[in-house]
Chains A and B, each alone.
Chain A
Amino acid sequence: MVTDTAILEAVGEVADPEVPVLTIADLGVLRGVRHEGHEVVVTITPTYSGCPAMDLIRHEVELTLQALQVDGRVETVLSPAWTTDWMSEAGKAKLTEYGIAPPTGRRAVGGPVMLSLTVRCPLCGSPDTTELSHFGSTSCKSLWRCNSCREPFDHFKAL
């Protein structure tokens, strides 16, 4: 009998195909494990509604369950909505090391005002940076440039 903790640990190691240094546990995409009769149900939540990585993540989790010889399935839940607040501190550190500025602060919902918080350059650490575009190489990122070292970089935007 594989314990829930062991299942969570094993499936938590599945990497995000778009940011491979992060696991789904780091991201907070992995929501939990529960039992339905003889079946184990692993719940995951998408970062963005249209996140194209979800199908692959689901598949990888299924393969991990098979490897553990656990009879289970994967369920996608939308509520409560994913937020960058669920990203682990370890995950944020890994992101910076990978060259992506981690999310800062919390995104206010509903109001039209955007808070402009400093995003530090993940390469040289300078706080003197400029946003080039709200939208980057994937839904979860925006595109920035460092005014000190002049390097462009991705920022995992707060949601």
Chain B
Amino acid sequence: MNDLFVYTLRLGDDALISAQRTAEWIAAAPQLEEDVALGNIGLDQLGQARSLLQYAGAVEGAGRSEDDLAYLRDERDFLNLQLCELPNGDFAHAMARLLYFATYQQLLYDELRGCDDEQLAGVAGKAVKEVAYHVDHATQWVLRLGDGTEESHRRMELALDALWPYTAEMFESDELVRRLAVAVDPSTLQDEWTRRVMAVIDESTCGRPSASYQHSGGRQGRHTEHLGYLLAELQHVARSYPGATW
């Protein structure tokens, strides 16, 4: 398979699966403004996913559209990080995930917008500005919950801990990113990511998370049991009514 196709698909799948999980919060968030905020954040991620999957389809050259890639692939064909597919849990989990993931996306897109591929640079240049708002939103909530009541502190800390074992996967380097000139080697982002995320966690008064075991496999299509259920919901209409438009 074409390296550029696979690389674009990785980024597109991260954005798509995050968008789906984030959108699940709509009408379930703790306050109305938060429904709106998470709806908007999910929409930004979906917009990024559309641009990336469209481009992936064009690069592949097999005539697959963004919809074909989103709706007609199976679980093992998805290359997203496992962090993106984990179930929502409580609101603290949503903010911990957004902090981890949006900070990663911000660093990644910031690098990528200078790359030689005009399309990828264009998507990244657009997305990096949106993601800055996501990071800011997550930061505000992590501080507020962590430095809030005894209960909010406890739950924020639990969430930061629970998702930590899924963070190392973001920075895994492999043959493909080293071979593909336009790709950002994610291992180069880890130090700055850790610095930024730890600064927020320290200020939130939560303890620093640590884990002896880190999950891996999303980039090779190995996923948690949760992705199948997510895809069932995401793909149901398109698969039940093939070719339907709306």
Chain A residues in the interface with B (C-beta under 8 A): 46, 48-52, 77-83, 107, 109-110, 112, 114, 132-139, 143, 159
B192 to chain A, nearest CB (A): 11
Bound-complex Cα distance A146 to B139 (A): 25
**Is B108 located at the chain interface by the 8 A CB criterion?**
no
From B45-53, B154-162, B229-237, the one touching the partner chain is B45-53
Q: Is the interface of A mostly helix, strand, loop or mixed?
A: loop
Closest to B118 in A: A79
Residues of B within 8 A of A78 (CB): 51, 119, 122-123, 125-126
Chain B residues in the interface with A (C-beta under 8 A): 33-34, 36-37, 39-41, 43-48, 50-51, 106, 110, 118-119, 121-123, 125-130, 132-133, 135-137, 139, 196
List of 5 A-B pairs having minimum Cβ-Cβ separation, nearest first = A50-B47, A49-B47, A79-B122, A78-B122, A135-B37
- Asked whether A135 and B136 contact (CB < 8 A) given A49-B50, A80-B125, A143-B33, the answer is no
Residues of A within 8 A of B139 (CB): 112
Cβ of B126 and Cβ of A143 under 8 Å apart? Answer: no
Closest to B119 in A: A78
B51 to chain A, nearest CB (A): 6
Cβ of B136 and Cβ of A114 under 8 Å apart? Answer: yes
Cβ of B123 and Cβ of A46 under 8 Å apart? Answer: no
What's the count of A-B pairs with C-beta under 8 Å?
90
Additional 6 contacts, C-beta under 8 A, given A50-B46, A79-B126, A112-B135 = A48-B130, A49-B44, A50-B47, A51-B47, A134-B133, A135-B33
Residues of A within 8 A of B121 (CB): 79
Cβ of B136 and Cβ of A48 under 8 Å apart? Answer: no
Residues of A within 8 A of B128 (CB): 109-110
Cβ of A136 and Cβ of B126 under 8 Å apart? Answer: no
Cβ of A50 and Cβ of B50 under 8 Å apart? Answer: yes
Bound-complex Cα distance A135 to B29 (A): 14
Q: Is the interface of B mostly helix, strand, loop or mixed?
A: helix
A95 to chain B, nearest CB (A): 19
Cβ of A135 and Cβ of B40 under 8 Å apart? Answer: yes
- Asked whether A107 and B129 contact (CB < 8 A) given A114-B136, A134-B37, A135-B37, the answer is yes
A53 to chain B, nearest CB (A): 12
- Of B110, B119, B127, B137, which is within 8 A of A49 by CB? B127
Closest to B125 in A: A81
- Asked whether A135 and B51 contact (CB < 8 A) given A79-B121, A81-B126, the answer is no
Question: Which of A49, A112, A114, A135 has the largest number of chain B CB atoms within 10 A?
Answer: A49
A59 to chain B, nearest CB (A): 14
Bound-complex Cα distance A134 to B130 (A): 11
B115 to chain A, nearest CB (A): 12
Residues of A within 8 A of B125 (CB): 78-81
Bound-complex Cα distance A82 to B47 (A): 14
Cβ of B136 and Cβ of A134 under 8 Å apart? Answer: yes
Bound-complex Cα distance A139 to B126 (A): 13
Bound-complex Cα distance A134 to B132 (A): 11
Residues of B within 8 A of A51 (CB): 47
Bound-complex Cα distance A109 to B133 (A): 10
Cβ of B126 and Cβ of A82 under 8 Å apart? Answer: yes
Residues of A within 8 A of B130 (CB): 48-49, 139, 159
Cβ of B196 and Cβ of A112 under 8 Å apart? Answer: yes
Residues of A within 8 A of B40 (CB): 135-136, 138-139
Residues of B within 8 A of A133 (CB): 33-34, 36-37
Closest to B137 in A: A134
Closest to A108 in B: B132
Residues of A within 8 A of B129 (CB): 81, 83, 107, 109, 159
Cβ of B47 and Cβ of A46 under 8 Å apart? Answer: yes
Cβ of A139 and Cβ of B36 under 8 Å apart? Answer: no
Question: Which of B36, B106, B122, B128 has the largest number of chain A CB atoms within 10 A?
Answer: B36
